[in-house]
Amino acid sequence: MSEIDELRAVVEKLAARVHALEDQVEIMQLVAQYGPAVDSGSAQATAALWTEDGTFDAVPQLRMRGRGDIVDMVNGGHQSLIRNGCGHVLTVPHIVVDGDEATGRSYALNIRWDADADRFWVARVSANTWRWVRTAQGWRISERVNANLDGTPEHREMLAPPAQPEPPASTSTAAAAGRASA
């Protein structure tokens, strides 16, 4: 391989890594927009984070299908939360990108103002699973499931890392195991 070919290969690898990082940053920015959008009552901006047919399940209270349902949620019952003082704080998600699709998991906190006590309190801590897709407009949420961490095993399991296949035993591992048993 010539020096030019080696440099091309390095540049291609670096370009792929930069593209992967750009995908992750764009998805993180998408998630980071949710709290400010929903808590400012910006219904259209909140809904625009999803695909047209995207879903949002806030287990077990709400099941939203499509942007129209998300707009209705923000313009409906969510208004009383905003008027009373509330903040949706999402943690940085763990993201796995696979081409034009990605999955992830994170926490969300719903923090509310208690005027009588003159303090904020955590009203809800939830597990979130996410599915994102790359669209012509960039990454969008295709599915979000948000479930209270109330001790329900299925909700806690939403945070578990994806199962990884067992790596095959390498020759060096097998040799080391053989030496250890000798």
Q: What is the pLDDT of residue 175?
A: 47
Query: What pTM value is reported for the model?
Result: 0.84
Q: How confident is the model at residue 171 (pLDDT cuts 50, 70, 90)?
A: low
Distance between CA 40 and CA 38 in Å, rounded?
Answer: 6
Q: What is the pLDDT of residue 70?
A: 97
Q: What is the pLDDT of residue 145?
A: 98
Token readout for 20 is 């992967």
Q: Does residue 182 have a pLDDT over 50?
A: no
- CATH code of the region 3-161: 3.10.450.50
Distance between CA 84 and CA 146 in Å, rounded?
Answer: 22
Report, as an integer, the average pLDDT of 120-139: 98
Q: Which of 41, 142, 57 is nearest to 108 (CA)?
A: 57
| Average pLDDT over the chain, rounded to an integer | 92
Q: DSSP letter string over 128-142?
A: EEEEEEEETTEEEEE
Cβ within 8 Å of residue 175, ≥6 positions away: none
Report, as an integer, the average pLDDT of 96-118: 97
Q: Does residue 148 have a pLDDT over 50?
A: yes
Q: Where are the domains of the chain?
A: 3-161
Q: How confident is the model at residue 59 (pLDDT cuts 50, 70, 90)?
A: confident
Report, as an integer, the average pLDDT of 24-32: 98
Q: What is the pLDDT of residue 141?
A: 99
Contact 43, 71 (CB under 8 A): yes
